């Protein structure tokens, strides 16, 4: 019998949860291809090591951009590679696959995701909205008549949703998230220090010294890059407060989306959110001071989920069980 699998198809990482085993794969969503032959050379972690370091005939591609499939063929090859690696196919049967997508994915984008999963060897393919799955993974009981609010800040998209009785009541999805924050840091360093840095360096700075509340963290790190003026390598010191300045505008746009969702939430559910608070999940939830920033701006309690990076993948496992149980009941 093939085991069902849940996939968190993220812009930055792909996580796969296999029924009965939990999360068995967590790799960057990157594929390295030979541009002359079109052959896939590496996928996942191996390909990520090549980002920004490839000769001209090799390209390290992220097939998902802002939570959406930007390159269909390569997404399909990446999914096939990961699913083959797991060896979950049964002798005769194909695994059911549950894939998560951002709330504002268009029907054409959904069709592309579904086709990629079917072609990579899936049986029935289910699509679910990311914040709903993340809420389940974060341990919220979304099938009860309570209002739960989730802010899921991933690599490509930030999703804000209020959920009750197992469904999304109000939601907003922004194509602004972790990748944009890394770009903000690169742009800031370029403008302020006339230094060009790579995407991996910006991400490292975001994780190691970044903060979204001024004065909350007092760290410095050496950043190496290329001087824009003379083209030579140069090192500078970057501080946490500088990163807060760089990230400010993007963070304010996510807060504005959360505010809009709260303003459109029915009063009974809004009252629940004041009691129960807001859960932050996704990689962005690991940013220093983020719970304080949201709490100060939204005037409600805000908590960071205990496993923000894994919540969507964990939620897919719980939802697949839910689907299987419902099927048994209807039989």
Strand locations in 102-217, DSSP E? 125-129, 148-153, 158-164, 167-174, 195-196
Per-residue confidence of the chain (331 residues) as pLDDT tens digits?
A: 668 899 998 999 999 999 889 999 999 999 999 989 989 999 999 998 888 787 888 898 999 888 788 888 898 889 888 888 887 665 567 888 999 987 778 888 888 888 888 888 778 899 999 999 999 999 999 989 999 999 999 999 999 999 999 899 999 999 999 999 999 999 999 999 999 999 889 999 999 999 999 999 999 999 999 999 999 999 999 999 999 999 999 999 999 999 999 999 999 999 999 999 999 999 999 999 999 999 999 999 999 999 999 999 999 999 888 887 877 777 6
What is the signed CA dihedral for 43, 48, 53, 57, rounded to 10 degrees?
20
- Whether the CB-CB separation of 147 and 166 falls below 8 Å is answered with no
Q: Indicate if 58 and 199 belong to the same structural domain.
A: no
Tokens found for residue 17: 């949860």
End residue of a domain, out of 214, 231, 246: 246
Instruction: Identify the CA nearest to 184 among candidates 67, 284, 302, 45.
Output: 284
Domain tally for the chain? 3
- 257 annotated ligand binder: no
Question: pTM (2 decimals)?
Answer: 0.90
Residue 157 is labelled as binding a ligand: yes
The reply, when asked if residue 54 is annotated as ligand binding, is: no
Are the CB atoms for 185 and 204 separated by under 8 Å?
Answer: no
Does residue 265 have a known ligand-binding role? no
Q: Which domain holds residue 239?
A: 178-246
What span, in angstroms and rounded, lies between the C-alpha atoms of 99 and 113? 8
| 284 known ligand binder | yes
What's the CATH number where 183 sits?
Answer: 3.90.640.10
Residues 194 and 260 in one domain: no
287 is in an annotated binding site: no
- 3-state SS assignment for residue 225: strand
């Amino acid at each position: 019998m093939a085991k069902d699998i849940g996939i968190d198809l993220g812009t930055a990482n792909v996580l796969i949860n296999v029924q009965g085993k939990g999360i068995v794969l967590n790799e960057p969503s990157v594929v390295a291809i030979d541009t002359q032959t079109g052959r896939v050379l590496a996928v996942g972690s191996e390909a990520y090591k090549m980002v920004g370091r490839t000769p001209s005939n090799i390209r390290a591609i992220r097939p998902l951009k802002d939570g959406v499939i930007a390159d269909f063929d390569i997404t399909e090859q990446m999914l096939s590679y990961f699913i083959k690696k797991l060896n979950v196919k049964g002798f005769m049967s194909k695994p059911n696959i549950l894939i998560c997508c951002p709330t504002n994915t268009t029907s054409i984008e959904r069709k592309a995701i579904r086709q990629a999963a079917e072609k990579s060897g899936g049986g029935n393919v289910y699509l679910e909205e990311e914040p709903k799955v993340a809420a389940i993974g974060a341990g919220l009981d979304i099938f009860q008549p309570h209002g739960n609010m989730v802010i899921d800040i991933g690599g490509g998209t930030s999703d804000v949703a209020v959920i009750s009785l197992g469904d999304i009541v109000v939601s907003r999805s922004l194509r602004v998230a972790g990748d944009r924050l890394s770009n903000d840091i690169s742009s800031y360093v370029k403008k302020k220090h006339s230094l060009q840095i790579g995407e991996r360096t910006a991400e490292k700075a975001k994780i190691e010294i970044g903060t979204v509340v001024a004065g909350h963290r007092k760290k410095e790190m050496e950043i190496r890059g290329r001087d824009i003026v003379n083209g030579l390598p140069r090192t500078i010191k970057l501080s946490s407060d500088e990163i807060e300045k760089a990230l400010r505008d993007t963070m304010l746009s996510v807060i504005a989306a959360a505010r809009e969702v709260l303003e459109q939430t029915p009063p009974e559910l809004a009252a629940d959110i004041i009691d129960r608070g807001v859960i932050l999940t996704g990689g962005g939830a690991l940013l220093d001071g983020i719970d304080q920033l949201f709490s100060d701006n939204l005037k409600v309690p805000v908590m960071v989920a205990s496993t923000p990076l894994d919540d969507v993948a964990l939620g897919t496992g719980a939802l697949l069980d839910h689907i299987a149980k419902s099927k048994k009941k209807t039989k």
